[in-house]
Structure formats: C-alpha cells, structure tokens
Amino acid sequence: MGFDKPSLKGRALRLLAQREHSRAELQRKLAVHEETPGELAKALDDLQARGFIDEQRVIDSLVHRRAARLGAARVKQELQAKGLPPEAVAQAVATLRHSEVDRAREVWRRKFGEPAEDAAGRLRQMRFLLMRGFDAAVVYCVVRMPQPDDPA
C-alpha cells in the first residue's frame, strides 16, 4: 500500500503549522508542486477564506519576533520579501520608528555594554547597528551619547 503525495492544501497547512506565511510565500514555495493550472490559487483562496492565511498575522508575527533585535529598515526589508501589501508594510514600519532609539540602545547594550574607547571601536559598534537596519541618525545618537547608566 503506497502513500499518496500530499495535496497542495496539505502542503500549505504543513508550512502554516510551522509559522505564519503570506500568500505570496506559499505561492512561491508550492508552485513547483502544482500539476493543474489554477489548482494552487484555488487551494490558497480556500485557506484564505477559512482564515488560515492572514496577511496581518504575518506582519504582527514578524514584527514581534524581529523588532527587538532589528531596526525598522531591516524589518521593512523582511516584510517586503514576503510579498505583503506596501501600505500594510509602511504602517507596521511607521509604528516601529517610534521605538527605534530605545530598541537600538538595548541591542547596543546587550552586545557591547560600554562605550568604545577609540574611534575604531565606535565605528565597529556603528557598523553593527547599521547592519541590523537601524537608521544612521539613531545609530550615531546611541553610539555617541553617554548611556543612561554612565556617570556624566
């Protein structure tokens, strides 16, 4: 008795059980398994109608998982890579910008904990934060300013 290969809907549900996926991500991952044109779109339409695919949940999930360690620019890049609607991405990123300095300071504190002793050290700290998608002005503020627990 042989095993049938999983249906497109079954494959999509397996992916969705691991983490939230956007419709575009599922489309991209499952396209190679589509045997009949339109079959994948129909399966995804059904899953979306039943609430298994929810773009806002994808955004909320990614922001929740990544915002504590990454800047708004990097989170925006990851959201765009998932094929999410540009206006929803812009709205999510706008809310992140309000906490950008605090999040950058916390990332800096966990990684370095104390101001660099020389220019090379400051540059290294700045590159670290920039690579994580924090805005240049925010990075400059965090690395140059004395930290709250430092004696003035």
Q: Are 34 and 94 in contact (CB under 8 A)?
A: no
pLDDT higher than threshold 60 for residue 12? yes
The closest alpha carbon to 139, from 61, 73, 52, 54, belongs to: 73
The fold for domain 100-144 equals Arc Repressor Mutant, subunit A (1.10.10)
- CA 152, CA 133: separation in Å to the nearest integer? 29
Q: Does residue 118 sit in helix, strand or coil?
A: coil
The fold for domain 54-98 equals Arc Repressor Mutant, subunit A (1.10.10)
Helices (H), 19-99: 23-30, 39-49, 55-66, 72-81, 86-97
Same fold, 8-53 and 54-98: yes
Second-level CATH architecture of 8-53: Orthogonal Bundle (1.10)
- CA 140, CA 145: separation in Å to the nearest integer? 8
pLDDT digits (tens, 9 = 90+) for 106-141: 999 999 999 999 999 999 999 999 999 999 999 999
Q: Domain locations in the chain?
A: 8-53, 54-98, 100-144
| Residue 33: predicted pLDDT | 92
| Residue 6: predicted pLDDT | 85
| Residue 152: predicted pLDDT | 43
Query: At CA 116, angle to CA 110 and CA 118, rounded to 5?
Result: 165
| Amino acid identity for residue 104 in this structure | A
- Mean pLDDT score of the chain: 91
Q: What's the predicted TM-score (pTM) here?
A: 0.83
pLDDT higher than threshold 70 for residue 147? no
